[in-house]
């Protein structure tokens, strides 16, 4: 299958949603499950193929645009298509149990959110990346405001304004790049980036940093994120945390290493990541609202990822990618469980939501919590220990001490939550789970345990991805159209 | 009074810092090269003859950067869906406007409608020959419907037809891309014959005019939907309580 289908199939499904709706709600929901399933199976097939792979549109690059899949993007593609498939299954239950007046429009945005994020990681043309950036952005603004209540509208308008400002910076950077080099192909830009006047190069790096850093929720620019998470539905939060934030993170570090910015700005990005981690975890301590709490927790984990991915050492980056995959799965699990609880209790207060009675939900939720916290035998533990090992190998003991100390703060609020859930003195209400949710949540929980017990299942891919990121020679050749 | 309260030292510091940032960026911009040769733009211009399209901008939009245009069309589609999501609601009720029938306004707007739509179609169909094309022509067609709304606020568009135009034209665009993959093994390639000798004729350029017509239908129907939602907002009875 040509790589172009990753974008074209969701587009055609989105355009035809009004007609799926006319066939009935089950056709509408089924179409999305079918679409995400095809994409996921196709991605699994790519794990056995020699990479990079290329597929061109119209004209061969560097003049035209092409999609290039290398081992680094394959890891993200696996995470995105898997999370998309899980959420589309979950939505079979969600729209049955909740208000579904605008369901058709929700599916349009869901499909395009997935297509935009995938396009961003596959395209080898920086202006094309910008187009996908906009597609992902507009879909996520609409999804944030989907509930149309006070908080939802606030989230939507806030996200719209912040996102538009971020995209202005990116357009400005692309314009400067075109003025200096005369091309928008990522391969050619990477080759000639060192020829740019150093002053302008700093400006371009700054613009890209502000644009993608804002969207990837890095410290000075992440003030908006908790409001967005609070205002939108819980499974939308899962999408934001598992797919959207990760796709911006991908572009951020892809350009960071391809343009050779890692030689100059490693320390800056690492310290900003550390501040993100510190500030978010301490703010999370005081939260009364469960969605805000996990928004801050997501920011904190992204902080660790920024610290580790910017570190320039292959062991740390490999660990960070493991942690990234594990975090996506665990956060998706947590947010989906929260969605079930919130739709029952109609509240997001921790003290109300915590009073549920369901053995299954308690078990999977605790698995998710312990995985994020980094307790064995769950995947989060392996992710964190690999990052710490990488820092130890590069003799960065300050980072190790920092991560371990701040993790204590994290432990405080997670164990407080668990204690609240297991408190037998409180009056508990039983919560219906729904058949399809048993499958979705069990699959996610089993994966967390599986990667924790057999980390080699995932480390194989993260090692390949790290090599592709640090030695991008073959990617750059393909981006220039060599493989055609 | 509130103004005085919100005016604090931190605002002064922030505005000073941001103006310093803007000034330093302006200083840096003087180093930007502006006389670059052999850019990808120049290469595309020299290759334009091969597409047999008289308008180079059109061949860039629909052919050289075709997938960008699929993306742009999708962005417009998402924007329309987003506006529909925000502004359509069962809770919203609209005032029935007392419409004073004016014979001249009624006949005049209906006569102008045909002329404007015809002009829009002309702009779309000649997109590969003269300035203009699907996006511009589509917006021209939407202005015809805006005129109808101004003349008669109680008018309603047939949403089933608009949805049909919107969905099928979008799907047709993607289908062309996929058919091209089977015909010449390239997504969105120009698989129809496009001999250079036909340059400047109405039927020339292979798939390029077809794509622009599809884009025109899509943009026209989507802009009309947007116009309808915004015009109707004027006649909202009361804001529903959230």
The whole-number pLDDT of residue B7 equals 67
CB contact under 8 A, A142 and B36: no
Backbone phi, psi, residue B169, to 5°: -65, -40
Residue in A18, A65, A138 closest to B75 by CB:
A138
CB distance from B31 to chain A under 8 Å? yes
* Contact (CB, 8 A) for A433 and A359: no
Residue in B33, B75, B187 closest to A57 by CB:
B187
Residue in B34, B41, B79 closest to A138 by CB:
B79
Place of tokens 């962005």: B75
Reading the block at residue A302, the tokens are 């992204």
In-domain check, residue B240: no
CB contact under 8 A, B67 and A128: yes
User: What is chain B's alpha carbon radius of gyration, rounded to the nearest angstrom?
Assistant: 24
For residues A201 and A180, what is the distance between their CA atoms, to the nearest angstrom? 9
Answer yes or no: is pLDDT of A103 > 60: yes
Average pLDDT over residues A90-100: 89
Comparing CA positions, the residue from A436, A281, A448, A286 lying closest to residue A368 is A448
CB distance from B157 to chain A under 8 Å? no
The whole-number pLDDT of residue B6 equals 62
For residues A189 and A201, what is the distance between their CA atoms, to the nearest angstrom? 12
Place of tokens 């993260």: A462
The whole-number pLDDT of residue B153 equals 78
For residue A63, list chain B residues with Cβ-Cβ distance below 8 A.
40, 43-44, 47, 64
CB contact under 8 A, B81 and A62: no
pLDDT digits (tens, 9 = 90+) for B167-205: 999 999 999 999 999 998 888 888 888 888 888 888 888
For residue A35, list chain B residues with Cβ-Cβ distance below 8 A.
none
Average pLDDT over residues A33-56: 92
In-domain check, residue B2: no
What's the total number of domains in chain B?
1
Interface of B with A in 89-128 (CB under 8 A): 89-90
pLDDT digits (tens, 9 = 90+) for B28-43: 888 887 777 788 888 8
CB distance from B228 to chain A under 8 Å? no
In-domain check, residue B5: no
For residues B25 and A106, what is the distance between their CA atoms, to the nearest angstrom? 41
* 3-class DSSP string for chain B: CHHHHHCCHHHHHHHHHHHHHHHHHHHHHCCCCCCCCCCHHHHHHHHHHHHCCCCHHHHHHHHHCHHHHHHHHHHHHHHHHHHHHHHCCCCCCECCCCCCCCHHHHHHHHHHHHHHHHHHHHHHHCCCCCCCCHHHHHHHHHHHHHHHHHHCCCCCCCHHHHHHHHHHHHHHHHHHHHHHHHHHCCECCCCCCCCHHHCCCCCCCCHHHHHHHHHHHHHHHHHHHHHHHHHHHCCECCCCCC
For residue A15, list chain B residues with Cβ-Cβ distance below 8 A.
77, 166-167, 170-171, 174
Which band of pLDDT confidence, cut at 50, 70 and 90, is reported for residue A429?
confident
The whole-number pLDDT of residue B91 equals 63
Residue of B nearest to A130 (CA): B68
CB contact under 8 A, A135 and B31: no
The whole-number pLDDT of residue A482 equals 81
Answer yes or no: is pLDDT of A387 > 90: yes
The whole-number pLDDT of residue B231 equals 85
Backbone phi, psi, residue B232, to 5°: -65, -30
For residue A16, list chain B residues with Cβ-Cβ distance below 8 A.
167, 171
Q: CB atoms < 10 A from the CB of B42, how many?
A: 12
CB distance from B44 to chain A under 8 Å? yes
In-domain check, residue B104: yes
Residue in B44, B68, B85 closest to A142 by CB:
B85
The whole-number pLDDT of residue B237 equals 65
CB distance from B166 to chain A under 8 Å? yes
Which band of pLDDT confidence, cut at 50, 70 and 90, is reported for residue A323?
very high
CB contact under 8 A, B40 and A183: yes
pLDDT digits (tens, 9 = 90+) for A409-425: 999 999 999 998 888 88
Residue in A8, A18, A127 closest to B163 by CB:
A18
Tell me what the pLDDT averaged over chain A comes to: 92
pLDDT digits (tens, 9 = 90+) for A16-26: 998 999 998 89
In-domain check, residue B103: yes
The whole-number pLDDT of residue A204 equals 92
CB contact under 8 A, A131 and B44: no
Spell out the residues 6+ positions from residue B123 whose beta carbon is closer than 8 angstroms to its own.
Answer: B132, B133, B136, B137, B140
For residues A203 and A179, what is the distance between their CA atoms, to the nearest angstrom? 13
Answer yes or no: is pLDDT of B241 > 60: no
pLDDT digits (tens, 9 = 90+) for A108-165: 999 999 999 999 999 999 999 999 999 999 999 999 999 888 899 999 999 999 999 9
* Chain A, chain B: beta-carbon pairs less than 8 Å apart: 153
How do A356-357 and A429-430 pair as beta strands?
A: parallel
In-domain check, residue B69: yes
CB distance from B30 to chain A under 8 Å? no
Reading the block at residue A430, the tokens are 């039983």
Reading the block at residue A173, the tokens are 């950077």
In-domain check, residue A179: yes
Average pLDDT over residues A209-233: 90
The whole-number pLDDT of residue B22 equals 87
Give the mutation candidate from B30, B40, B240 for the A interface (greatest A CB count, under 10 A): B40
In-domain check, residue A484: no
CB contact under 8 A, A142 and B64: no
Residue in B34, B65, B242 closest to A65 by CB:
B65
In-domain check, residue B62: yes
CB distance from B175 to chain A under 8 Å? yes
This model of the complex carries an ipTM of 0.92
* Contact (CB, 8 A) for A10 and B70: no
For residue A185, list chain B residues with Cβ-Cβ distance below 8 A.
40
Which band of pLDDT confidence, cut at 50, 70 and 90, is reported for residue B5?
low
The whole-number pLDDT of residue A481 equals 83
Reading the block at residue B94, the tokens are 């609209």
In-domain check, residue A304: yes
What's the total number of domains in chain A?
1
In-domain check, residue B133: yes
For residue A1, list chain B residues with Cβ-Cβ distance below 8 A.
none
For residue B68, list chain A residues with Cβ-Cβ distance below 8 A.
65, 127-128, 131
Residue in A15, A119, A176 closest to B171 by CB:
A15
Answer yes or no: is pLDDT of B1 > 60: no
CB distance from B236 to chain A under 8 Å? no
Which band of pLDDT confidence, cut at 50, 70 and 90, is reported for residue A447?
very high
The whole-number pLDDT of residue B242 equals 47
The whole-number pLDDT of residue B3 equals 56
Which band of pLDDT confidence, cut at 50, 70 and 90, is reported for residue B90?
low
CB distance from B205 to chain A under 8 Å? no
Answer yes or no: is pLDDT of A318 > 90: yes
Choice among A37-41, A305-309, B156-160, B238-242 with the minimum mean pLDDT: B238-242
Answer yes or no: is pLDDT of A1 > 60: yes
CB contact under 8 A, B167 and A57: no
To the nearest whole Å, the CA of A98 is away from the closest chain B CA by 17
In-domain check, residue A422: yes
CB contact under 8 A, B63 and A58: yes
Residue of A nearest to B71 (CA): A131
CB contact under 8 A, B68 and A200: no
Range of the domain at A396: 5-479
Range of the domain at B82: 38-233
């Amino acid at each position: 299958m040509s790589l172009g289908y990753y974008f074209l199939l969701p587009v055609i499904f989105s355009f035809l949603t009004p007609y799926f709706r006319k066939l009935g709600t089950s056709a509408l929901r089924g179409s999305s499950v079918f679409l995400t399933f095809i994409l996921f199976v196709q991605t699994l097939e790519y794990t056995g193929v020699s990479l990079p792979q290329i597929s061109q549109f119209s004209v061969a690059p560097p003049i035209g645009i092409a999609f290039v899949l290398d081992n680094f993007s394959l890891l993200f593609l696996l995470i995105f298509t898997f999370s998309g498939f899980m959420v589309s299954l979950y939505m079979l239950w969600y729209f049955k149990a909740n208000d579904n007046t605008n369901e058709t429009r929700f599916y349009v945005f869901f499909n395009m959110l997935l297509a935009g994020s995938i396009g961003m990681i596959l395209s080898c043309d920086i202006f094309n990346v910008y187009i996908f950036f906009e597609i992902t952005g507009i879909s996520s603004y609409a999804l944030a405001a989907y509930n149309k209540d006070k908080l939802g509208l606030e989230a939507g308008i806030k996200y719209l304004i912040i996102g538009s400002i971020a995209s202005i910076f990116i357009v400005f950077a692309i314009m400067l790049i075109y003025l200096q080099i005369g091309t928008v192909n990522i391969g050619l830009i990477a080759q000639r980036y060192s020829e740019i006047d150093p002053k302008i190069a700093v400006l371009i790096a700054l613009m890209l940093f502000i644009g993608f850093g804002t969207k990837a929720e890095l410290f000075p620019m992440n003030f908006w994120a908790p409001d967005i998470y609070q205002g939108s539905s819980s499974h939308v939060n899962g999408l934001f945390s598992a797919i959207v934030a990760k796709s911006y993170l991908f572009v951020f570090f892809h350009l960071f290493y391809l343009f050779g910015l890692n030689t100059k700005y490693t320390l800056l990005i690492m310290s900003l990541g550390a501040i993100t981690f510190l500030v978010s975890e301490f703010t999370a301590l005081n939260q009364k609202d469960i969605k805000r709490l996990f928004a801050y927790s997501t920011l904190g984990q992204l902080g660790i990822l920024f610290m580790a991915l910017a570190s320039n050492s292959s062991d740390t980056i490999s660990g960070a990618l493991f942690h990234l995959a594990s975090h996506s799965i665990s956060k998706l699990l947590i947010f989906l469980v929260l969605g079930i609880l919130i739709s029952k209790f109609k509240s997001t207060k921790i003290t109300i939501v915590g009073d549920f009675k369901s053995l299954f939900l308690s078990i999977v939720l605790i698995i998710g919590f312990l995985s994020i916290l980094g307790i064995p035998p769950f995947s989060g533990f392996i992710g964190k220990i690999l990052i710490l090992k990488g820092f130890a190998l590069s003799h960065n003991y300050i980072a190790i001490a920092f991560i371990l100390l701040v993790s204590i703060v994290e432990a405080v609020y997670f164990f407080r939550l668990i204690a609240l859930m297991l408190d037998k003195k409180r009056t508990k209400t039983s919560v219906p789970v729904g058949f399809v949710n048993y499958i979705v949540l069990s699959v996610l929980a089993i994966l967390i345990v599986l990667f924790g017990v057999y980390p080699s299942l995932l480390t194989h891919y993260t090692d390949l991805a790290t090599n592709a990121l640090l030695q991008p020679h073959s990617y750059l050749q393909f981006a220039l159209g060599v493989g055609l | 009074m509130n103004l005085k309260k919100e005016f604090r030292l931190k605002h002064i510091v922030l505005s000073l810092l941001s103006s310093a940032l803007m000034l330093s960026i302006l200083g840096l911009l003087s180093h930007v090269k502006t006389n670059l040769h052999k850019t990808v733009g120049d290469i595309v211009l020299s290759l334009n003859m091969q597409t047999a399209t008289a308008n180079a901008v059109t061949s860039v939009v629909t052919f050289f950067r075709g997938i960008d245009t699929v993306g742009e069309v999708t962005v417009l589609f998402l924007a329309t869906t987003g506006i529909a999501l925000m502004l359509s609601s069962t809770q919203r009720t609209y005032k029935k406007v007392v419409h004073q029938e004016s014979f001249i306004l009624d006949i005049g707007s209906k006569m102008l409608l045909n002329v404007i739509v015809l002009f829009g179609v002309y702009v779309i169909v000649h997109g590969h020959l003269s300035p203009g094309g699907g996006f511009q022509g589509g917006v021209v067609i939407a202005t015809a419907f805006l005129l109808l709304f101004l003349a008669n606020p109680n008018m309603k568009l047939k949403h089933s037809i608009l949805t049909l135009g919107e969905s099928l034209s979008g799907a047709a665009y993607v289908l062309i891309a996929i058919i091209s993959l089977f015909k010449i093994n390239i997504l969105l390639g120009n698989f129809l014959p496009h001999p250079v000798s036909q340059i400047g004729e109405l039927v020339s350029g292979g798939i390029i005019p077809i794509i622009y017509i599809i884009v025109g239908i899509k943009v026209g129907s989507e802009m009309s939907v947007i116009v309808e939602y915004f015009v109707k907002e004027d006649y909202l009875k009361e804001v529903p309580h959230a």
